[in-house]
Amino acid sequence: MTGLDRNSVRRTAVLAGAALIVGLLPLASAGTAAAADPDPVPVDRFEGEVPFASQPAEGLFTWGGDADDPPRLSLAERSDAPEGAKVLAGDYDISGYGGFTHDYAADQPGHDWSAHKGIRFWWDGQNNGKKTAFEIKDGGANGEASELWTTSFTDDFTGWKQIEIPFGDFTYRTDYQPVGGIDQVLGLTQMWGYAVTLPVGAAGRFAMDDVELYGKADQSLRASVTTDAAVYPVKEGGTASVKVSVATTGSAPIDEPVTVAYESAGGTAESGRDYTPVKGEITFPAGTESGASRTVQVPTLRDRTGEAAETVPLKLTVTGAKAPAETPQVVIDAHGLPYLDAKLPVKKRVADLLSRMSLAEKAGQMTQAERGAIGAGGDIAAYDLGSLLSGGGSTPTPNTPAAWAKMIDGYQLRAQATRFQIPLIYGVDAVHGHNNLAGATVMPHNIGIGATRDPALAERTGAVTAAEVRATGVPWDFAPCLCVTRDERWGRSYESFGEDPALVESMETVVQGLQGDRSGKDLKDDDRVLATAKHFVGDGGTAYGSSTTGSYTVDQGVTKVGRQELEAVHLAPFQEAVDRGVGTVMPSYSSLDLGDGQGPVKMHARGDMINGVLKDRMGFDGFVISDWNAIDQLPGDYAAHVRTSVNAGVDMMMVPYSYKEFSATLIDEAKAGRVTDRRIDDAVARILAQKFRLGLFEKPYADTSGASAIGSTAHRAVARQAAAESQVLLKNAGSVLPLKKSQKVYVAGSNADDIGNQTGGWTITWQGSSGNITPGTTILQGMRKAGGDITYSKDASASTDGYDVGVVVVGETPYAEGVGDVGNGNDLELTAADKAAVDKVCAAMKCAVLIVSGRPQLIGDRLGDVDALVASWLPGTEGDGVADVLYGRRAFTGQLPVTWPKSESQLPINVGDTSYDPQFPYGWGLTTLTNVPGGGTASLRALALVAAAAERAGADTVARTAVTKARLLVQQKIGTAVTAASAKPFADADHLLLTGHYADAVAKLTQAYRAG
């Protein structure tokens, strides 16, 4: 007898037994039960009817965060199987995340589950106390493009147990959706299967059987009553309108009446004095269409006295449907208080508001939570939260400008339920454009901006970023990174403008692009955001091997420097930022060791640096925001973490998922006197001042008037220019570049046609990813649009015969922070596939190699076979800009922002080093301009005179032009025969240029010329 036959006999026997029992019951009972409960509908029996397969076919498949995380599955024979002969069995050992899925076939219609009460299955309990997540897939195109609705069950039993989950228990996932949200309504009419997420942290096994739909849809689970908002602000004397709606899963009409009794009760407002009480009942008759609504009006009364906001909860009692998750609140707006007067100076508004706040309210202002941690947002008012953020990849669904604005407006609405209606300040890591937003204009990373040597362009990129960020309701950007990268093995090196503090300082025009005027007067505008100078101080100088964070090698490590080097290299860019009026500063995860006997001390604990240097000596009057959970790395218990960081000068704490603990601990520490009232008042005053400057009290909600410009042609034109100017031509033997449109061009390489690799980390997600992740133009597409005669073969497998020139685009795949550290699974070598593509193409024809990367790649062993070499950095979404210089629409003008090493053993290697023998020196960059000067030493002598005279006269533009001509002349002579004797003075010259020592720069270039 087959397994299926045994199952049929077992199921028949069960049904026969049930029929006998029903026959012994009173007829009315039997008839009622039969009418109420339809037969179960199988989803999975695990007898082999559903194969191990994935989309588009129907099947079971596993998934996980890395290669070890997916569980191992089998259809195992079990004598104790609850149904049939086999069960789905498996074992797992998950460090990140992992589980399995059953998707229905994508080429067939979705299934209709709406007639049933819920889904159930048998689970072989191990009594491990672990929670297992169970998800169902609703709507959309298929099982991998549907909405995820989730719940969980706890394995606190032994042996087989049937887990029943009513559909009403599932909630929409807000932390992750594989696609943009469809309608965020559990329709149940187009279902695509289910998924199980297994516990992490300990090895385990499981068995599962007989997944099926059960029961009749219960209206109280299928129908729900909602209000159009949780909070209804209204001016004193106005009337709040609360819309009450009934909706059903599947959008079917209700089949039983639903009643909603309402009554204004409780809250801080006084009935009869502040508002007219209301009480009544709404009935939605049977047959009412899903989505029908009624309105309850709550009149407020005017008493003409200034006061804080007051609340009027509207209690709803629902019969026949699920009640709203929370009681809606009418809020009578705060009014008549000095801090609300926009005509008063910011300082007076801050003082008035601060004087009215409780300790708990002040602690809330110092607390920043992640959007994914606060659910529907009720904790915003409950904990008086001052700030929210989106971490990398934490986006609304769908990931559109409108969805961002709606999400943030919803959070701001919650803040209106607080006593003083202090608006939230919402922050994002928009480090190269609004990079979390699909379709935004993505700029080159800072390393590429540094290569442009164009401060005016840097400012324009900041302005585009600010306009796109603010148009989605976000007023605060955790950028720019002002680190001075001193070791390209660091996974964040591409977030730096370069290795020379003078270069970093010159690019800080981006602060004005983001914020506008240094005074802060532009911050309230709809195209400006508050900027953040990060990471204070010295994160670019962390030593290789000093990190103690996981498998990181450099990031979050120790910067060991003397005070002179600290001042000259790492602190100087922050003084420039303070002088430019930057609104916030973020300390580094890293530690600082000044050789003063203290040893390495985490920056979040360095009061001597934050209070002493940044605030007192530099005069920084903005506020200091911690990095993500950074205080958790401080020594001692949690209370020590809180008081140490706050007392060191950190004003707001980024505690994404521990905001409740932080707020409570800060209050306890303040009450105990370990954090003074004065310190807390200073922190809160700094935070409130920036909120006033941003105009958030007057306009807390998103101004989306600029949303149509997000990703616009005008904005992309700025990014295109930045991409073009960031291209650094390192070698150009035989003038291979620029290309001619008449040439037949063979294009190859892993990064020629990959927008994800081209944009790098911090793009859509924290680490970024390869592939078509956001709209843009790849380098290949740009070359085709430029009119070139192009043939593309990614791996160079196509025939190479008959081409005039080859272009091989190679380099890195995306990474961010310590994950990208060299030694943490990364190196500075091209992949084997990239090397093979370079070798094949360059052996067959003249070739140009473009390296798309966040840091130099070691290519010295192939340099002799490559005719032209370009450092393309991470150019962003506008591959047209790269094509512009390849085809001569623009000239190559970029210069190296970091030294290009010959070998990894040379690292760290930087301009100013005593021993300096790179592949290409800092500042190197050939040009395709036709007017490269000649004349040798005679021209250099003339240029030296011009530079000296211009320097004395303060004619910077004339002096810079003279130094640039001298640099081009020297490069023309040296070619690729760079030696230590020529490299060092050449690099020094670029530093002297940036510091305004123009005559000395030409003298150094003359020295390099003679050495070459």
Task: Tell me the β-bridge partners of 42.
Answer: 212
Sheet containing 584-587, strands listed edge to edge, beginning at the edge strand earlier in sequence: 532-536, 584-587, 623-624
Alpha-carbon span 121 to 311, nearest angstrom: 45
The secondary structure element, H or E, covering residue 12 is helix 3-24
Alpha-carbon span 468 to 702, nearest angstrom: 12
Task: Tell me the β-bridge partners of 44.
Answer: 211
Please give the sequence-ordered ranges of beta strands (E in DSSP) within 814-970, or none if there are none.
846-852, 868-871
In eight-state DSSP terms, residue 494 is: G
Task: Tell me the β-bridge partners of 864.
Answer: none
Please give the sequence-ordered ranges of beta strands (E in DSSP) within 180-269, or none if there are none.
191-197, 204-216, 223-227, 231-234, 239-248, 258-264
Residues near 668 by Cβ (< 8 Å), separated by ≥ 6?
Answer: 639
The secondary structure element, H or E, covering residue 470 is helix 455-470
Task: Tell me the β-bridge partners of 653.
Answer: 367
Instruction: Count Cα atoms within 13 angstroms, Cβ side, for 31.
Output: 3
Pick from 84, 91, 87: which is nearest to 69 by CA?
91
Q: Which long-range contacts (CB under 8 A, 24 or more apart) does 514-522 make?
A: 514/462, 514/463, 514/465, 514/466, 514/477, 514/479, 514/480, 515/466, 515/581, 515/582, 515/583, 517/581, 518/579, 518/580, 518/581, 519/581, 520/581, 520/583, 520/693
Alpha-carbon span 693 to 853, nearest angstrom: 38
Residues near 320 by Cβ (< 8 Å), separated by ≥ 6?
Answer: 219, 220, 223, 254, 256, 257, 258, 259
| Residue in this structure with the two tokens 């593309």, named with its chain if needed | 792
Alpha-carbon span 647 to 634, nearest angstrom: 13
- 1003 SS3 class: helix
Residues near 138 by Cβ (< 8 Å), separated by ≥ 6?
Answer: 146, 147, 149, 182, 186, 187, 188, 190, 191, 192
- 625 SS3 class: strand
Please give the sequence-ordered ranges of beta strands (E in DSSP) within 498-600, or none if there are none.
532-536, 558-560, 584-587, 591-593
Q: How many residues does the chain have?
A: 1012
Pick from 65, 173, 50, 177: which is nearest to 102 by CA?
50
Give the 3-state secondary structure percentages of the chain, helix then strand then coil, rounded to 5: 35, 25, 45
Question: ∠ CA 88-92-94 to the nearest 5 degrees?
Answer: 140
Q: Which amino acid is at 914?
A: T
CB 330 within 8 A of CB 242: yes
3-state secondary structure 924-987: CCECCCCCCCCCHHHHHHHHHHHHHHHHHHCCHHHHHHHHHHHHHHHHHHHCCCCCHHHHHHHH
DSSP per-residue letters across 156-195:
-SEEEEEEEEEGGG-EE-SS--SS--S-SS---SSEEEEE
Alpha-carbon span 784 to 745, nearest angstrom: 10
Residues classed as catalytic: 627, 817
Residues near 564 by Cβ (< 8 Å), separated by ≥ 6?
Answer: none
CB 137 within 8 A of CB 147: yes
Task: Tell me the β-bridge partners of 370.
Answer: 389
